Chains A and B, each alone.
Chain A
Amino acid sequence: MTTIISVPSSLDDQTFEQIFDQLAPLPPDEKILVDARRTRWASPFGLTGLLALAQTRLERPTFAVPELDETTSYWARAQFFKHAEGFYDILGRPPRPRAASGSSVLLEVTPVAHTQDVHTVVENIQQRAQAILQEKLHLESSVTMRFTMALSEVCQNVIEHAGCGGWVAVQAYRWQQRAPGRAVVQIAVCDSGMGFRKSMESEHGPRLTDRWDDGMALEETVIRGATRFRDPGRGQGLAGVRKFIGKWEGKFSVRSGTARIAVIPVWDEDVPLQENLPHFPGAQVQLTIPEKYR
């Protein structure tokens, strides 16, 4: 039997919860068809999340491509299908990818599994990031290096903690519904590895407290800078990301296991900590940098 997983028409970190919800009750060896035919748009979180999803399945899943040419064309430019073909049986014919130059794709969907992948990401994004961050988001020139530093750190998080490879993508776009017309850049890094709680437990074991769960593990690591390593120098990466996000009024969220934590700027109405979400392995990180109001 094949279970159909419906992909929302607009796929971002919030609507992806509908997919997690459909997946959570299924055993990992159950055959699934991820149906994106009605999907019109996906954020970097959506694209990288779909790849991480496929990695959790023991039975190779099927993926039904969006019907809208504009959507498939964009996903192809973002290199989604190139990677999806390795994990999904593709239903439908994705277009051949065209060059991403001049588009809002800052960084195509890129695997992150080894140290050299982080170098590749950093080398590839700098020039494009500078143009987008300064021209579209009207940020100061000094933001480019900080942005790339933050990107580097969230990618390294996968290599050091996931126990398997993950995916990164970066895209600039204009919000349609929330603060309409405001330009943003989003970084998404998704993996289906061990997640924050298990990473902490791998060194220290479970905490001897009534409440040691995914939510607490996220609070400890993302907010308080704890890590599984005893080296006092560890934990600076995410601390640096928080600092960067604070300075540029961005948003930073991490979902892991059954919890999601967010560092929320004044322009957003998200909740700081959500618990008892449908379980999904690994960690899914998103950074949003908004256009500076002039």
Chain B
Amino acid sequence: MISHIDVSSVLRRTVCDLYSNLVTRPTGAAVRIGIERHLDEIGDKALAILDFSHVGLLDYSCADEIVAKLLMQYVSVDDPRREVYFVFSGMSESHMEAIDSVLDRYGLALVTQLADGAAQLIGKVDGEQRRAWETIAQLGGARPADVATATGMLPEHAERTLETLWRRRLVIRQESGYVPLRSGVRTGGVRGDATRGTSGAIGVVAS
């Protein structure tokens, strides 16, 4: 299931309907809890698009409360609350600065969707993870063997790297392979999970 969450609306609903800026820790914590409640309602496997388009300012403290503490529950624990993937969209340069800073502190990474629709990986990822992620993004989906062929990695190494990317919720794992995070991706239990592109790799299902 794909869920679009307008972060600015969550702010107005949970804190104050006059605010447009995400500042202070208590505000960040309230917004995060609002997002978590929403996620609790959307099933065990979901892709959440967190839309920052209407957010004015995001300060470091609020970024820590919303982004880092949210991701920590889903991507950096052995037994995450459920299989939730995040795509951050509508981010301005200053949002990115605050978020980059908190990702760096916790060793986290996330996927953002740029205005032109292209996905971007930001935060802490090593060179091989980035290459594998870019290959998946380029192919629209792939099996470990496809990534190994495209990158020159050993097949078992490509498999481990993709598994790590999945555990970090930076790619989606499906029975037929791995697919990139985009707002157009469907997760689990939809139309045969994935379609096969002309390259033989796994493609993205339009939502």
- A198 to B61 alpha-carbon distance, docked (Å): 22
* A143 (CB) vs chain B CBs: closest residue: B94
Inter-chain contact A236/B105, CB cutoff 8 Å = yes
| A202 smallest CB distance to B (angstroms) | 17
| A114 smallest CB distance to B (angstroms) | 9
Query: Among B27, B68, B93, which residue has its beta carbon within 8 angstroms of that of A233?
Result: B68
A278 on the B face (CB < 8 A):
no
| B20 smallest CB distance to A (angstroms) | 8
- A74 to B158 alpha-carbon distance, docked (Å): 67
Q: Please choose the segment from A25-33, A148-156, A184-192, A285-293 that sits at the chain B interface, where 4 or more of its residues have CB less than 8 A away.
A: A148-156
* A149 (CB) vs chain B CBs: closest residue: B59
Q: Which residues of B contact A146 (CB under 8 A)?
A: 94, 97
Query: Among A126, A237, A239, which residue has its beta carbon within 8 angstroms of that of B59?
Result: A237
Q: Please choose the segment from A41-49, A115-123, A131-139, A253-261 that sits at the chain B interface, where 4 or more of its residues have CB less than 8 A away.
A: A115-123
Q: Which residues of A contact B151 (CB under 8 A)?
A: none
| B177 smallest CB distance to A (angstroms) | 35
Q: Which residues of B contact A118 (CB under 8 A)?
A: 23-24
Task: Kindly state the interface size class of chain A when it binds its partner.
Answer: 20 to 34
A68 on the B face (CB < 8 A):
no
Query: Among B61, B97, B106, which residue has its beta carbon within 8 angstroms of that of A232?
Result: B106
Query: Among A119, A142, A237, A239, which residue has its beta carbon within 8 angstroms of that of B27?
Result: A119
| A100 smallest CB distance to B (angstroms) | 21
Inter-chain contact A236/B60, CB cutoff 8 Å = yes
A24 on the B face (CB < 8 A):
no
B25 on the A face (CB < 8 A):
yes
- A122 to B101 alpha-carbon distance, docked (Å): 21
Inter-chain contact A156/B61, CB cutoff 8 Å = yes
A58 on the B face (CB < 8 A):
no
B21 on the A face (CB < 8 A):
yes
B146 on the A face (CB < 8 A):
no
* B56 (CB) vs chain A CBs: closest residue: A126
Q: Knowing A149-B60, A237-B61 touch, does A119 contact B19 (C-beta < 8 A)?
A: yes
Q: Which residues of A contact B61 (CB under 8 A)?
A: 152-153, 156, 236-237
Q: In the complex, which residues 37-67 of chain B have their Cβ closer than 8 Å to any Cβ of chain A?
A: 56-61, 64-65
| A247 smallest CB distance to B (angstroms) | 10
Q: Which residues of A contact B58 (CB under 8 A)?
A: 149
Inter-chain contact A233/B59, CB cutoff 8 Å = no
Q: Knowing A119-B19, A119-B21, A233-B64 touch, does A239 contact B101 (C-beta < 8 A)?
A: yes
B14-39 interface code vs A (CB 8 A; 1 in, 0 out) = 00101111011111000000000000
Inter-chain contact A156/B93, CB cutoff 8 Å = no
Q: Knowing A145-B94, A153-B59 touch, does A233 contact B106 (C-beta < 8 A)?
A: yes
What are 23 sample pairs from A and B whose C-beta atoms fall under 8 A apart?
A: A115-B27, A118-B23, A118-B24, A119-B21, A122-B23, A126-B56, A146-B94, A149-B98, A153-B59, A153-B61, A156-B25, A233-B64, A233-B68, A233-B69, A233-B105, A233-B106, A236-B64, A236-B101, A236-B102, A239-B60, A240-B59, A240-B60, A243-B101
